[in-house]
Amino acid sequence: MRDYFVEQGPAQTQAPVCPIVRSLAGQTALVTGANSGIGRAIAVALGKAGANVVVNYVTREDAARETLEEVQQCGARALAIAADVSNEQQVRDMFQRTVDELGALDILVNNAGLQQDAPFHEMTTAQWDKVMNVNLRGQFLCTREAVRIFMRQGIRKNVSSSAGKVICISSVHDVIPWAGHVNYAASKGGVMLMMKSVAQEVAPLGIRVNSICPGAVRTPINTEAWSTREAYNSLMKLIPYKRIGEPEELGRVAVWLASDDSDYITGASLYVDGGMTLYPGFETGG
Ligand code: BGC
């Protein structure tokens, strides 16, 4: 059991200078589905914050290379690894290669996810299984490998106060029901309670597990919701803050959640959604 008891809190000291801190210097992060959208922005942001980054992808190797180059421009070491997150052996091999080539693992960002939408009565088992396999089973398999590594490593005191951080990319749809997207909402609801249950289990080991839950963000997964004036106006009815999110904003949140600045946060769902979860209909109604 970790024991941080002290009779008095630490003395508050005034820093004499304002150094530029790369909050993740010396750490290694693995980001799944890092070749596009939110995953790509997070991989680049982690690299800018000083972390070495594994760029996982399953298709579109060219896009993964682009992410890789962007991360490397930040001065970080980076590695692109192809692996299907729903395939147990491929996941194990990816984590093994990460440790072999980069020496450690400190941060996992479970970002890989997809939608296969259909009216519920027409949804096929293939559509159900695909979404569950990537969005939920994939997060389980990757989190399990990461936790195993974090347990072996323990706390690397020179780089972080915790023994490891898992960030699950969930969605506002882990609490907002979504007609026409039942498989997706069910997978994200699953991610939410997986995240919280794992967080509870591994907190005594010094491992932090949290979710970032994006609302509408400008990425390829939802192009039809923002790419025309009509669609954008209709989307704004669901967003009290009246703008779509940009992938880079998720990158900044992920850096903070992976850093020691958020060291006392575990088991939390952080909604980054311009207020989409605030029952927007009640802005005027009720
Ligand atoms: C979905 C997007 C959607 C957003 C808000 C996300 O989880 O992937 O397609 O625009 O939630 O509804």
User: Three-class SS of residue 41?
Assistant: helix
Predicted local distance difference test score (pLDDT) of residue 284: 87
The CA distances from residue 85 to 91, 125, 140, 214, 273, in Å, are: 6, 19, 9, 20, 26
Ligand 1 contact via 99 beta carbon (within 6 Å): no
Ligand 1 contact via 218 beta carbon (within 6 Å): no
Determine the Cα–Cα distance for residues 169 and 188; give it in Å rounded to an integer: 9
Smallest CA separation from ligand 1 atom 8, residue: 221
Cα 214 to ligand 1 centre (Å): 7
Q: In what order do the strands lie in the sheet with 269-272?
A: 78-82, 52-57, 28-31, 107-110, 164-169, 207-214, 269-272
CATH topology of domain 28-222+246-282: Rossmann fold (3.40.50)
Ligand 1 contact via 171 beta carbon (within 6 Å): yes
At 140, which amino acid appears? F
Predicted local distance difference test score (pLDDT) of residue 4: 67
Question: pLDDT means per 10 residues in the chain (286 residues)?
Answer: 67 64 94 98 98 98 97 94 98 98 98 98 98 98 99 96 98 98 98 99 98 97 95 96 98 98 98 98 87
Predicted local distance difference test score (pLDDT) of residue 154: 97
Please state the separation of Cα 112 from the chain's center in Å: 9
Nearest to 198 by CA among 137, 156, 150, 147: 147
Determine the Cα–Cα distance for residues 178 and 215; give it in Å rounded to an integer: 12
Ligand 1 contact via 225 beta carbon (within 6 Å): yes
Cα 28 to ligand 1 centre (Å): 28
Determine the Cα–Cα distance for residues 142 and 226; give it in Å rounded to an integer: 31
Contact 35, 218 (CB under 8 A): no
User: Three-class SS of residue 277?
Assistant: coil
Predicted local distance difference test score (pLDDT) of residue 286: 84
Ligand 1 contact via 222 beta carbon (within 6 Å): yes
Smallest CA separation from ligand 1 atom 11, residue: 215
Query: For the whole model, what pTM was predicted?
Result: 0.95
Determine the Cα–Cα distance for residues 31 and 254; give it in Å rounded to an integer: 11
Ligand 1 contact via 215 beta carbon (within 6 Å): yes
Determine the Cα–Cα distance for residues 154 and 160; give it in Å rounded to an integer: 11
Contact 74, 52 (CB under 8 A): no
Torsion angle of C-alpha atoms 45, 208, 112, 192, degrees rounded to 10: -130
Catalytic residue among 184, 241, 264, 279: 184
Task: Dump the DSSP string for 3-21.
Answer: ----SSPPPP---SS-PPP
Cα 264 to ligand 1 centre (Å): 28
Q: Where are the domains of the chain?
A: 28-222+246-282
Q: What is the DSSP letter of 137?
A: I
Nearest to 254 by CA among 145, 109, 72: 109
**57 has catalytic annotation:** no
Cα 225 to ligand 1 centre (Å): 9
Predicted local distance difference test score (pLDDT) of residue 285: 81
Cα 273 to ligand 1 centre (Å): 10
Predicted local distance difference test score (pLDDT) of residue 66: 97
Bridge partner residues of 31 (DSSP) = 55, 109
Structure tokens, 131 = 């979404």
Predicted local distance difference test score (pLDDT) of residue 247: 98
Radius of gyration of the chain (CA): 19
